[in-house]
Amino acid sequence: MPKNSLLVLGLMSGTSADGIEAALVRISGAPPKLNSKLLGHASLPMPKPIRAAILRIAEGTPVPAAEISQLNFRLGELFADAAIATCKKLSVPVKSLDLIASHGQTVFHQGEPVSFLGAPTSSTMQIGEPSVIAARTGVTTIADFRPADMAAGGQGAPLVPFADYLLYRHEKFGRVSLNLGGIANVTVIPAHAKPEQVFAFDTGPANILIDALVSHFSKGRNRFDAGARIASRGESLVPLLEKLLVDPYLCLKPPKSTGREYFGRTFVQEILSEGRKLSARPEDLIRTATIFTALSVVDALNRFVFPHTKISQLIVSGGGARNPLLMGQLEAALVPIELLTSEKFHVPEQSKEAYAFALLAYETFHHRPSNLPSATGATRPAILGKISYA
């Protein structure tokens, strides 16, 4: 790396709120010749009481403003602890960091404007106070990336396509980057693409429904279906699957984004209600949710991608890349497209989004825009994030 490179630590907590992912990245240059290298990564579990508080707010449970304020600062401390712990694990002095990039924890996201107090309004909220992170670590921290895109008319999501374009663009064939976190999202990168040709959107749920059902049936003892072992014992419930596959969100044209507000507690309760009518076993519902996740991704690709763009490879990241049933369904439904994981590109599945936000922070530090209006629907490029100096 050139001498003018920066050492950036990206921090990410996703829709599932089950942990903080950290990625240490050395970055130099500027697009289209931006150079980056992942030096190390770490995954730190979210403490159960804090996760419960996050989910309570994110799922729309009425809470006092005081609780949101307190959680914002408590999460700031937790993200700072995660940054320090990651540096210790990787034997890197915290003071050697040039920047910390923190996506924060989304507790609300309304990408499309809705009527509010007499005017159409969209909004988003990510908490995890960056001033606290900067103060505790002594490192300049950039956070709260989504609002600038929304102020420019975008949905504030997805933002990872900027990194996908830099990582995966190919001269000769088209690729789709699929991230299977809590929510599934795709970035479509045509062969020899220019930035304005890239488009992206949230296809629907990924792990959010599977995890919620596992947690429900295990009474909170388990958070996810490791190795798809539970789903593999079940049978798909065709009537429920057919009902899920006509959900209105799947038909919406991109750009579009979603989250726990839509595919959260109420949606899961409807699945449980349908399961009771069908006398379904827990493993049947978990399998059906897994198959639904795969088929909703395939449906989105067939509706909005394949008619317009020739795709040769699907590159998968996120926790869902470790679910063999989910991956098997995708591979079978998408023949002859080659299915790869981000590991093939030296980016571990779990740390891809943290890596991406490190790149976004680097661009913000250099006063350069890093949203892709073709992905978010914004009317113009925007410099993302807010800077908290140490």
Higher per-residue confidence, 294 vs 33: 294
Q: How many Å apart are CA 132 and CA 77, to the nearest integer?
A: 6
Q: What is the mean pLDDT of residues 72-83?
A: 98
Query: Residue 90: its pLDDT value, please?
Result: 97
**φ, ψ at 148 (rounded to 5°):** -65, -40
Read off the tokens for 222. Answer: 């388990």
Share of the chain above pLDDT 90, in %: 93
Strand duo 99-116 + 119-127: pairing: antiparallel
Contact 126, 105 (CB under 8 A): yes
**295 Cβ partners below 8 Å, 6+ apart?**
241, 245, 329, 333
**What is the DSSP code (8-state) at residue 160?**
T
**φ, ψ at 126 (rounded to 5°):** -115, 130
Read off the tokens for 389. Answer: 């100096």
Q: State yes or no: pLDDT of 81 exceeds 60.
A: yes
Read off the tokens for 135. Answer: 């103060």
Q: State yes or no: pLDDT of 3 exceeds 80.
A: no
pLDDT in tens, 144-201: 999 999 999 999 999 999 999 999 999 999 999 999 999 999 999 999 999 999 999 9
Query: Residue 2: its pLDDT value, please?
Result: 54
pLDDT in tens, 238-256: 999 999 999 999 999 998 9
Q: State yes or no: pLDDT of 1 exceeds 80.
A: no
Q: State yes or no: pLDDT of 206 exceeds 60.
A: yes
pLDDT in tens, 326-337: 999 999 999 999
C-alpha closest to that of 157 among 147, 143, 169, 168: 147
Q: How many Å apart are CA 85 and CA 44, to the nearest integer?
A: 9
User: Tokens 């289209």 appear where?
Assistant: 32
Query: Residue 216: its pLDDT value, please?
Result: 96
Amino acid at 137: T
Least confident of 1-5, 42-46, 89-93: 1-5
Radius of gyration of the chain (CA): 20
pLDDT in tens, 54-69: 999 998 899 999 999 9
Residue 131 Cα to chain centre, angstroms: 23
Contact 187, 375 (CB under 8 A): yes
**321 Cβ partners below 8 Å, 6+ apart?**
180, 327, 341, 342, 349
Q: State yes or no: pLDDT of 33 exceeds 90.
A: no
pLDDT in tens, 109-141: 999 999 999 999 999 999 999 999 999 999 999
Query: Residue 78: its pLDDT value, please?
Result: 98
**309 Cβ partners below 8 Å, 6+ apart?**
174, 188, 190
C-alpha closest to that of 371 among 140, 147, 120: 147
Query: Residue 285: its pLDDT value, please?
Result: 98
pLDDT in tens, 354-369: 999 999 999 999 999 9
Within 173-264, strands assigned E span 175-180, 183-189, 199-205
Q: How many Å apart are CA 181 and CA 321, to the nearest integer?
A: 9
- Tell me the CA distances in angstroms from 36 to 28, 276, 314, 362, one per residue in order: 7, 50, 22, 10
For the chain, helix, strand, coil in percent to 5 are 45, 25, 35
Read off the tokens for 189. Answer: 């990168």
Residue 293, classed as helix, strand or coil, is helix
Share of the chain above pLDDT 70, in %: 99
pLDDT in tens, 89-102: 999 999 999 999 99
